[in-house]
């Protein structure tokens, strides 16, 4: 009860914990703490819970996994097999974080922000990225050349499920279905049989993957090359292991893509590992490394990027290569080092530049600038999204601003939605003149977030500026879809938006510049029907909902933020549940790409704390509950 009185006295537990008076409650038993914080939805309560979880982590990975799995089952977060599989995979990483964590600290606050939604994102720790030379005073984006454009295909988030079975239950209790998880889910035993080409409750069957590549071959026969912004592996994260991921990556990169596409530049996605999202930076001492992922990717990609770049990719999934016969340099980098669900990053002390990847980017961009090359940056997670750490995103943005005349554009996936992000040289003064870079975010093949889709860019062959893009979809609501998906043009950016700005941008040789896209967001503000059309396109016309009020304000804010601290994403308790549908059969709804099961376990704080109390008692007995927990920093 001591803590509760404290809440009233100090107003906020968080304040109390962070202040020197925190010593007053230096020690308290696990049992007391859990009782006291059950109803306290504060950042301080979260930090108190971290003290308890740290005690649990000190008992070892097995005890930690055992108790948290029980919490997951007791709180009915997921089916028992999902809880067991997911937490046995993710648990040891979180236990590793917790054992080394100082509480309170910025790391603890970030952890509470991501896992519990109870702390606001901490302020960015200032860091000035070093550049070998200052930006040339005459640096500017080149004007369009007017030469005949080339076509480049952009595919993303294929999430191919090689265990998909036609006829298996598509209406199961897990986040992806269409697999015979139980006898009653098996083909012939279910009244919800999956069709041959996929279902919105399931990741892509192989048939759908091949159907898309076939459509690309047919619809874009002259494509110069393809960019693929990651996530090959399906979303049954509680079953995914090294054997499956290796097999999935090899199937996509060595078998399917080469049969249809002439050249593919790939990136590493957060799902392309086991456990999911597990990309430990080199500085971390662990036996759970992901070198095998990089080995597999490197050997799959070498056919397209050559052995030299493949050797670089083998370091941590990133590479830089000149596209043959052109002035374009492709730089593919690993965004998992800034991804909040990569729990290896919550280490004392959090690194400013994991694996020195940002330093490597600066070296590559500096050389490209000196050589007068044009650059495309490819990554998986958009660096302005709510999934990106504010610190890493801020440092990355400094690099974007320095080399904005050399980088033609950046390309991402991960969100599964058709969208974009604009970078500004000054985020407190956003206008067409301060808009400096475009992030093109391609929607997914997997049907879990809308109709299966791919994009084709029309590209200036000299400046490599984006002149237009056309989106193709296969409409799942079409009655013929399950026998033979028909891929057709959905819309073109220039056709949809070009005439809405002043002066109109309709010439096929004109670039869609950052200023153009800024002006389009201004049109969204003024003309609501244009904005609602954009919203419908995000999911390719699938389950479209009106977006107005805060939804609209936040959406436009995100479009204008390629640096994550400016994206207006607010942190609130249970934020992770909002990503699912809380009103109906929640589990069929889309879960955020790569969201860990542990964050789902703790999304409902009260329920999880109360389940933790009973699980700890059952599994560890009163010895643990009577223990003194570390609730303040030592
Ligand atoms: C408290 O922290 C110390 C030092 O980090 C650690 O050795 C000890 O095991 C912790 N106690 C608990 C209950 O977590
Ligand atoms: C900028 O000036 C330098 C030195 O005068 C010149 O070599 C370079 O081509 C110029 N760059 C641009 C983009 O005009
Ligand atoms: C899924 O099954 C439930 C009953 O278990 C039923 O109410 C619901 O309509 C089914 N959903 C679909 C999309 O068929
Ligand atoms: C269908 O269910 C029956 C009885 O429940 C079971 O014997 C059979 O193995 C199931 N079929 C499959 C393919 O699992
Ligand atoms: C990996 O998962 C597959 C499919 O679930 C399973 O058959 C296989 O035994 C697992 N391999 C290992 C090494 O755990
Ligand atoms: C950014 O814009 C604000 C508002 O116009 C202005 O006060 C500030 O000086 C600008 N910052 C820089 C670095 O130009
Ligand atoms: C953007 O809008 C401004 C006026 O607000 C206009 O001066 C500028 O030419 C427009 N630029 C583009 C590329 O649409
Ligand atoms: C998909 O097909 C359905 C049924 O024919 C139709 O109502 C819908 O408008 C189509 N969606 C798109 C994006 O074309």
What sections of 192-348 are H helices per DSSP?
Answer: 206-219, 242-250, 257-260, 291-316
Instruction: Give the pLDDT means over successive 10-residue stretches in the chain (634 positions).
Output: 26 31 56 86 90 94 95 89 95 94 94 90 96 96 97 98 98 95 98 98 98 98 98 96 98 98 98 97 92 98 98 98 98 98 91 98 98 98 97 98 98 98 98 98 97 98 98 98 98 98 97 98 98 98 96 97 95 47 31 66 84 91 84 44
Q: How far is the CA of 138 from the centre of ligand 2 (A)?
A: 6
159 is in an annotated binding site: yes
Is the minimum distance from the CB of 244 to ligand 5 under 6 angstroms?
yes
Residue having the nearest C-alpha atom to atom 2 of ligand 7: 519
Ligand 6: which of 135, 398, 426 to mutate, most ligand atoms within 8 Å of CB? 426
Residue having the nearest C-alpha atom to atom 13 of ligand 8: 541
One DSSP character per residue, 383-426 reads: TTSTTB-HHHHHHHHHHHHHTTTTEEEEEE-SS-S-EEEEEES-
One DSSP character per residue, 260-278 reads: H-S-EEE---TTSSSSTT-
What sections of 322-383 are H helices per DSSP?
Answer: 357-370
What is the model's pLDDT at position 484? 96
User: How many residues are present in the chain?
Assistant: 634
Question: Which atom of ligand 2 is nearest the CA belonging to 139?
Answer: 13
Q: How far is the CA of 140 from the centre of ligand 2 (A)?
A: 10
**Which DSSP helix (H) or strand (E) runs through 468?**
strand 466-474
Is the minimum distance from the CB of 584 to ligand 5 under 6 angstroms?
no
Residue having the nearest C-alpha atom to atom 1 of ligand 2: 138
What is the model's pLDDT at position 452? 98
Domain map (residue ranges) of the chain: 16-120+593-625, 150-164+203-566
Buried b (16+ CB within 10 A) or exposed e, 158-179: bbbbbbbbebbbbbbbbbbbbb
Question: What is the distance, to the nearest Å, from the Cα of residue 285 to the centroid of all Cα atoms in its chain?
Answer: 25
157 is in an annotated binding site: yes
Judged by DSSP in three states, 87 sits in: helix
List CB contacts of 182: < 8 A, sequence separation 6 or more.
Answer: none
Residue having the nearest C-alpha atom to atom 9 of ligand 3: 171
Q: What's the CA gap between 249 and 48, in Å, rounded?
A: 41
Is the minimum distance from the CB of 182 to ligand 4 under 6 angstroms?
no
Nearest in space to 56 (alpha carbons), one of 613, 634, 632, 573? 613
Token reading at 336? 């998992």
Q: What's the CA gap between 494 and 105, in Å, rounded?
A: 48
Ligand 5: which of 81, 176, 244 to mutate, most ligand atoms within 8 Å of CB? 244
Q: How far is the CA of 627 from the centre of ligand 1 (A)?
A: 11
* Contact by Cβ (8 Å): 233, 271: yes
What ligand has the least distance to the C-alpha of 501? 7
* Contact by Cβ (8 Å): 565, 393: yes
Is the minimum distance from the CB of 33 to ligand 1 under 6 angstroms?
no
Task: Tell the residue number behind the tokens 């800034």, with chain if given.
Answer: 338
Q: What's the CA gap between 315 and 169, in Å, rounded?
A: 41
Integer Rg of the chain from CA: 25
Q: What's the CA gap between 287 and 276, in Å, rounded?
A: 16
Is the four-CA dihedral 14, 16, 22, 26 of positive or negative sign?
Answer: negative
What ligand has the least distance to the C-alpha of 182? 4
Pairing verdict, β 628-630 and 27-29: antiparallel
Is the minimum distance from the CB of 584 to ligand 6 under 6 angstroms?
no
Residue having the nearest C-alpha atom to atom 10 of ligand 6: 426
Is the minimum distance from the CB of 192 to ligand 3 under 6 angstroms?
yes
> In the chain, what is the greatest distance between 2 CA atoms, to the nearest angstrom?
76
Cβ < 6 A, ligand 7 pocket:
432, 501, 513, 515-516, 519
What is the model's pLDDT at position 16? 30
Question: Which atom of ligand 1 is nearest the CA belonging to 30?
Answer: 13
Task: Tell the residue number behind the tokens 């050559």, with chain if given.
Answer: 306
Token reading at 558? 């995100």
Q: How far is the CA of 520 from the centre of ligand 7 (A)?
A: 10
Q: What's the CA gap between 326 and 447, in Å, rounded?
A: 35
List CB contacts of 397: < 8 A, sequence separation 6 or more.
Answer: 383, 423, 562, 563
323 is in an annotated binding site: no
DSSP state of 199: -
Residue having the nearest C-alpha atom to atom 2 of ligand 1: 630
Q: What's the CA gap between 159 and 167, in Å, rounded?
A: 19
Residue having the nearest C-alpha atom to atom 9 of ligand 8: 541
Q: What CATH topology corresponds to 150-164+203-566?
A: Purple Acid Phosphatase; chain A, domain 2 (3.60.21)
Q: What's the CA gap between 346 and 464, in Å, rounded?
A: 38
* Contact by Cβ (8 Å): 384, 439: yes
φ and ψ at residue 539, rounded to 5 degrees? -105, 15
Measured from the Cβ of residue 227, the count of other Cβ atoms closer than 10 Å reads 24
Could you give the strand order of the β-sheet that contains 374-378, starting from the edge strand earlier in sequence?
319-322, 328-332, 374-378, 407-412, 435-441, 419-424
What ligand has the least distance to the C-alpha of 426? 6
416 is in an annotated binding site: yes
One DSSP character per residue, 107-165 reads: HHHHHIIIIIS-SPPPPPPP-PPP-SSPPPTT--PPPP--SPPEEEEEE----B-TT--
Token reading at 490? 């959905």
Ligand 4: which of 168, 187, 189 to mutate, most ligand atoms within 8 Å of CB? 189
Question: Which atom of ligand 7 is nearest the CA belonging to 432?
Answer: 1
Q: How far is the CA of 434 from the centre of ligand 7 (A)?
A: 12
Q: What's the CA gap between 289 and 366, in Å, rounded?
A: 31
Residue 505: C-alpha distances to residues 516, 570, 599 (Å): 8, 35, 45
The pTM (predicted TM-score) of the whole model is 0.92
Q: What's the CA gap between 526 and 585, in Å, rounded?
A: 36
* Contact by Cβ (8 Å): 598, 346: no
What ligand has the least distance to the C-alpha of 523? 7
């Amino acid at each position: 009860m001591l803590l509760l009185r404290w809440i009233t006295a100090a107003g906020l537990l968080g304040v109390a914990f962070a202040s020197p008076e925190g010593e007053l409650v230096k020690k308290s038993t696990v049992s007391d703490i859990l009782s006291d914080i059950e109803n306290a939805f504060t950042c301080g309560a979260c930090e108190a819970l971290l003290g308890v979880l740290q005690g649990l982590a000190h008992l070892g990975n097995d005890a930690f996994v055992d108790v948290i799995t029980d919490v997951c089952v007791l709180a009915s977060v997921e089916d028992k097999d999902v809880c067991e599989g997911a937490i046995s995979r993710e648990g040891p990483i979180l236990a590793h974080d917790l054992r080394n964590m100082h509480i309170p600290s910025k790391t603890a606050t970030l952890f509470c922000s991501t896992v519990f939604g109870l702390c606001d994102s901490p302020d960015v720790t200032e860091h000035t990225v070093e550049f070998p030379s200052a930006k040339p005073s005459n640096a500017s984006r080149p004007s369009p050349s007017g030469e005949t454009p080339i076509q480049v295909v952009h595919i993303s988030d294929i999430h191919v499920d090689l265990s998909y079975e036609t006829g298996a239950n598509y209406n199961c209790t897990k986040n992806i279905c269409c697999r015979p998880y139980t006898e009653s889910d098996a083909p012939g035993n279910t009244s919800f049989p999956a069709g041959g080409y996929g279902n919105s409750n399931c990741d892509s069957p192989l048939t759908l993957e091949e159907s898309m590549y076939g459509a690309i071959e047919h619809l874009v026969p002259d494509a110069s090359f393809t960019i693929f912004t990651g996530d090959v592996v399906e979303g049954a994260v509680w079953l995914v292991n090294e054997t499956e991921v290796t097999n999935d990556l090899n199937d996509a990169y060595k078998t399917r893509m080469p049969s249809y596409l002439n050249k593919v530049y790939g990136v590493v996605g957060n799902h392309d590992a086991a456990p999911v999202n597990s990309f430990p930076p080199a500085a971390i001492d662990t036996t759970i490394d992901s070198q095998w992922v990089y080995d597999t990717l490197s050997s799959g990609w070498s056919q397209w990027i050559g052995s030299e770049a493949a050797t670089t990719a083998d370091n941590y999934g990133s590479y830089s290569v000149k596209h043959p016969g052109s002035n374009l340099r492709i730089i593919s980098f690993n965004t998992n080092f800034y991804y909040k669900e990569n729990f290896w990053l919550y280490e004392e002390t959090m690194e400013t530049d994991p694996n020195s990847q940002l330093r490597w980017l600066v070296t590559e961009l500096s050389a490209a600038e000196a050589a007068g090359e044009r650059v495309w940056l490819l990554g998986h997670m958009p660096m302005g999204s709510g999934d990106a750490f504010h610190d890493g995103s801020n440092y990355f943005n400094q690099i974007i601003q320095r080399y904005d005349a050399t980088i033609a554009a950046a390309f991402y996936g991960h969100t599964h939605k058709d969208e974009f992000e604009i970078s500004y040289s000054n985020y407190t003064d956003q206008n067409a003149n301060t808009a400096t870079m475009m992030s093109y975010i391609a929607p997914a093949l997997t049907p879990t977030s809308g109709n299966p889709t791919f994009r084709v860019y029309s590209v200036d062959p000299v400046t490599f500026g984006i002149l237009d893009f056309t989106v193709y979809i296969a409409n799942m609501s079409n009655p013929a879809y399950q026998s033979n998906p028909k891929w057709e043009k959905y819309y073109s950016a220039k056709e949809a938006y070009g005439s809405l700005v002043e002066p109109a941008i309709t010439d096929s040789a004109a670039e869609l510049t950052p200023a153009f896209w800024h002006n389009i967001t201004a049109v969204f503000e003024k003309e609501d029907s244009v904005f609602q059309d954009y919203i419908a396109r995000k999911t390719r016309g699938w389950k479209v909902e009106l977006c107005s009020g805060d939804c609209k304000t936040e959406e436009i804010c995100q479009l204008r933020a390629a640096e994550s601290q400016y994206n207006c994403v607010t942190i609130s308790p249970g934020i992770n549940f909002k990503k699912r549908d809380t009103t109906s059969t929640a589990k069929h709804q889309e879960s955020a790409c790569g969201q860990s099961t542990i964050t789902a376990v703790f999304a409902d704080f009260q329920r999880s704390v109360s389940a933790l109390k009973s699980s700890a008692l059952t599994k560890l007995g009163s010895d643990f509950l009577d223990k003194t927990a570390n609730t303040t920093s030592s």
